[in-house]
Amino acid sequence: MKRRIRYGMVGGGPGSFIGGVHRRAARLDGEIELVCGAFDIDPVKSKGMAKELYLPEERCYLNYEEMFEKESKLPLGERMDFVSICTPNHLHYRIAMAAMEHGFNVLCEKPMTLTIEDAEGLAEMVKKTGAVFCLNHNYTAYPVVRAARDMVKAGQLGDIRRVMVEYPQGWLADVVTSDNMQGSWRTNPKTTGVSCCMGDIGSHAENLSEFITGLKITEICAGIKNFVPGRSGLDDDGDVLLRFNNGAEGVLSASQIAVGEENALRIRIYGSKAAIEWRQENPETLIMKFNNGPQQIFRRNWAGFAAKWSRIPAGHPEGFFEALANIYTDFAHAIDAKLEGKPYQGEFPTVWDGVRGVKFIHKVVASSKEGKWLKIEE
């Protein structure tokens, strides 16, 4: 790279969890630089955040429309190269669409849009503009997860027969108060969409199962439920039966009312030869199991395992920030290749993963209402 890749952020202002996470991860490898932002709908809060981030006042904008308009008129190398969208779900589509209309690349939080039509619209815009588009499913960028994917691809598990993925959390087990910003927008259908739990964390489980196995979910049968009052019927718990395109079966379970659970994403994949298990709360370890032999425990960076996606030696833990940094750095390399006119095959989730995720969410809601199996692609 001849220079740092420059970006602007929409959202991620005071009180935001994910905005700060993105900024820290983006700068971890020193190849990306934050140059502008529209951090909050309140201009005072937005300017306050820009000041905290040492941005010049003229690069803190009142809204994303002003940011895209003014940034697009700056010289290449001074203006931002991409926008990082760290807003509630209902704003993703309009911001991403406007960014690409002004010639910018996009890194967007998931779920990509509220509707299938909007998701497909963004995919068409990516094809039309040639924009580099990344959807943030950062769990796919843990070194051990990528190594697990390569093990499956190499046939070490044999034919994949069953996938069991679960994602229990407990943080929404009680009624959300008005001062809980993160909970308030996630439990409001106007800002989160048709689903709370499945849209927020079930979509991560769906994406992770497809990423590691290399398979596609073709049909689902779902049962979702709302336990806590005041959520306009939005789900906070549910289970989904899965069918994959190779004939494999699976179960996906997600809950945000599982009291005592923190962020317990876990996946087990069973093949005809062996099985593997990974837990997000113990991300440096992959367990491989056999019927006729002892279990094998693989550790990140042990004897080179997963080393190419790691930064530090074995025994020095890497986790959430480093995984998201893998997404950002890979995305930056893709933008750099685009600027140089060179081909580049990134490992980050794309707009097409976003389309599949939105379809999955809507089919889960529909299947639960109708009480039957539904195809992801009609």
Q: What is the reported pLDDT for 202?
A: 98
Domain assignment of residue 243, yes or no: yes
CA distance 199 to 297: 32
Domain assignment of residue 318, yes or no: no
Q: What is the mean pLDDT of the chain?
A: 96
Q: What is the reported pLDDT for 302?
A: 83
Q: Which residues of the chain have pLDDT under 50?
A: none
Query: Based on the domain organization, do 197 and 264 belong to the same domain?
Result: yes
Query: Based on the domain organization, do 160 and 303 belong to the same domain?
Result: yes
Q: What is the reported pLDDT for 352?
A: 98
Residue 307 belongs to domain with CATH number: 3.30.360.10
DSSP assignment of 197-236, as one string? HIIIIIHHHHHHHHHHH---EEEEEEEEE--SSSSTT--S
Query: Based on the domain organization, do 216 and 154 belong to the same domain?
Result: yes
Query: Based on the domain organization, do 144 and 275 belong to the same domain?
Result: yes
Query: Based on the domain organization, do 171 and 229 belong to the same domain?
Result: yes
Query: Based on the domain organization, do 34 and 182 belong to the same domain?
Result: no
Domain assignment of residue 117, yes or no: yes
Q: What is the reported pLDDT for 15?
A: 85
Query: Based on the domain organization, do 105 and 115 belong to the same domain?
Result: yes
Rounded to 5°, the CA angle 366-367-371 comes to: 125
Q: Specify the number of domains making up the chain.
A: 2
Q: What is the reported pLDDT for 52?
A: 95
Q: What is the reported pLDDT for 268?
A: 98
Range of the domain at 50: 5-139+323-350
Domain assignment of residue 178, yes or no: yes
Query: Based on the domain organization, do 14 and 132 belong to the same domain?
Result: yes
- Percent pLDDT > 90 in the chain is 94
Domain assignment of residue 149, yes or no: yes
Query: Based on the domain organization, do 23 and 75 belong to the same domain?
Result: yes
CA distance 101 to 103: 6
Query: Based on the domain organization, do 100 and 120 belong to the same domain?
Result: yes
Residue 88 belongs to domain with CATH number: 3.40.50.720
Q: What is the reported pLDDT for 181?
A: 87
Domain assignment of residue 367, yes or no: yes
Instruction: Tell me if 41 sits within 8 A of 67, measured CB to CB.
Output: no
Q: What is the reported pLDDT for 340?
A: 96
Query: Based on the domain organization, do 181 and 327 belong to the same domain?
Result: no
The pTM for the full model equals: 0.96
In what helix (H) or strand (E) does residue 338 lie, and over which residues does it extend?
Answer: helix 320-340
Q: What is the reported pLDDT for 178?
A: 77
Domain assignment of residue 226, yes or no: yes
Q: What is the reported pLDDT for 270?
A: 99
Q: What is the reported pLDDT for 179?
A: 80
Query: Based on the domain organization, do 153 and 201 belong to the same domain?
Result: yes
Write the pLDDT tens digit of every residue in 160-200.
999 999 999 999 999 998 788 899 999 999 999 999 999 99
Q: How far is CA 169 from the centre of its chain?
A: 17
